[in-house]
Amino acid sequence: MADTLSRYHALVEAGEISFDAAQAAVAKRLNRLNEELADFRLSRRKSSALAWLFSRGEKREPVTGLYIWGEVGRGKTMLMDLFMAASPVRRKRRAHFHEFMADVHERIHAYRQKLKSGEVKGDDPIAPVAMELAEEAWLLCFDEFSVTDIADAMILGRLFTKLFEEGVVVVATSNVVPDQLYKDGLNRALFLPFIKLLQERMAVVKLESRTDFRLEKLAGRPVWTVPLGAGGDQAMDEAWARLTGGAEGEPSELIVKGRHVAVPRQARGLARFSFAELCERPLGASDYLAIAHAYHTVLIDRIPVMRGLGMRNEAKRFITLIDALYDNSVKLVASAGAEPTGLYLSDEGVEVFEFNRTASRLIEMRSEDYLAAPHERRVEPSADTGGIVET
């Protein structure tokens, strides 16, 4: 099996990417981590095989994970792809961080229901949930590690403390250095021990590539119509007719954790929503993932320019929505009040920084490469073919 660096050079030689010294350096660092994981995996096997001989074996130091951060479009996801393909670990899981946390909250809820019914004993669901996760995968890899939700922030310290105690190794990509996580968040002082924990258990590496490689692939396909108005509405109607082969479409709904998520119009694997229907209603990551899994193409009408803190909630939902569509290679056709880089106008709040990633992704989603890619339905972690990969 080729290692991470060899795979990187193979992509360069094939002309699929341009060589970048910073990317190559991180690929080399990921190589070392895979070597450490292979050695640790072997030692665990030997320790297990000799457990009958020793009542108390010598405990090895845990493997230090990796936290790779840098600006959007620098190649972090590509490097994670290469690392995962080369990893010797059998019990491993890769997930977008928002999707992982949605899974964690669902497991916590399920455990609390068992507590109420008397099926299990105890008063804190965090530890058993962490142990369950550790049993499923001892290498966790997260794309787009970010913390904006107070519910996430308040449980991460206890959750990851237990994961690390169970020997879990974490690799993550992020657009921000750990010290900037949950910046300006409510009760952030309670979150600071988690940042310290990450810095103790993960080596922090900055990917300083020379350019935004996503922007270099901008294709300019006519899938983003500006400005809003009658012309934009007509363009969307024409796009719907062309993509569905003239089908009118009909309303439908998705069932998400017992709730009904309305789909105003769908036909032949396409769905059409207005911005208000997606981002002005109390929808969350699990709802957007359900949409991303169900439809290969989504049309969104009348995305407005979001100004200031007055539209902060809508902007946060929009960020999460685009993450779900992008991560599942869903094609996006939209009418909007501005180009992606001008959609969110504010001078304060963490959403300003996060929207830079969203704008970059929206631009990439217009490229020929993205539009040519097949719809990749990434199922929920609890499904049989979910985020745990056996190799």
**20 to each of 53, 168, 207, 245, 268, how far by Cα in Å?**
50, 31, 10, 43, 41
Task: State the residue for tokens 């169900």.
Answer: 294
Q: For residue 289, give the nearest of 311, 266, 257 by alpha carbon.
A: 257
Per the prediction, the chain carries an average pLDDT of 84
Higher pLDDT, 96 or 387: 96
Q: What is the reported pLDDT for 161?
A: 95
Among 217-221, 225-229, 287-291, whose mean pLDDT is lowest? 217-221
pLDDT at 347: 74
Q: Map tokens 């990851």 to a residue.
A: 160
State the pLDDT confidence band at 244, using cuts at 50, 70 and 90.
Answer: confident
CA distance 311 to 309: 5
Helix 150-165, helix 97-117: angle, nearest 10: 80
Please determine, for residue 133, whether its predicted confidence score (pLDDT) is greater than 50.
yes
Residue 242: predicted pLDDT: 82
The pLDDT of residue 216: 54
pLDDT in tens, 342-382: 998 887 767 777 888 899 999 999 887 888 777 765 544 33
Domains of the chain and CATH, by start: 4-212 (3.40.50.300), 217-372 (no CATH)
Please compute the mean of the pLDDT values over residues 294-307 and round it to a whole number.
92
* Residue 199: per-residue pLDDT: 95
pLDDT above 70: percentage of residues in the chain: 86
Does the pTM exceed 0.85?
Answer: no
- Identity at 374, one-letter amino acid code: P
Average of pLDDT values for 176-186? 90
From CA 354, how far away is CA 148, in angstroms rounded? 10
What pLDDT is attached to residue 128? 93
Q: Is the pLDDT of residue 201 over 60?
A: yes
